[in-house]
Amino acid sequence: MDKQQFGERLRIARLRKNMRQVDVTTALQEYDININQTTLGKIERGERNIYVHELTAFVEVLDVSVEWVVKGGELKIS
């Protein structure tokens, strides 16, 4: 998996939901994921790996599938 493409897909999903980075980091806290905006920026740029438990929370917050985040393809808007 290409970390840059992975991070870019997370960024696209965030922007599609009209969320700022701070909105995402706040929402992730409900899933006991405590990352700051700097860390989220690193993830979106492909500079930091993401853990499985973080991925699970991201897909819930951003309303996307794990498959789309990992593999790409068409983003279905709900």
In a domain, 19, yes or no: yes
Number of domains in the chain: 1
Percent of the chain with pLDDT over 70: 92
In a domain, 76, yes or no: no
In a domain, 75, yes or no: no
Dihedral angle, C-alpha 67, 17, 36, 73, nearest 10 °: 20
Q: What is the mean pLDDT of the chain?
A: 91
Q: What is the pLDDT of residues 23-40, one digit of tens each?
A: 999 999 999 999 999 999
In a domain, 78, yes or no: no
- The pLDDT assigned to 75 comes to 62
For residue 48, pLDDT beyond 60: yes
- Containing structural domain, residue 57: 3-70
In a domain, 77, yes or no: no
The band of 76, judged by pLDDT with boundaries at 50, 70 and 90, is low
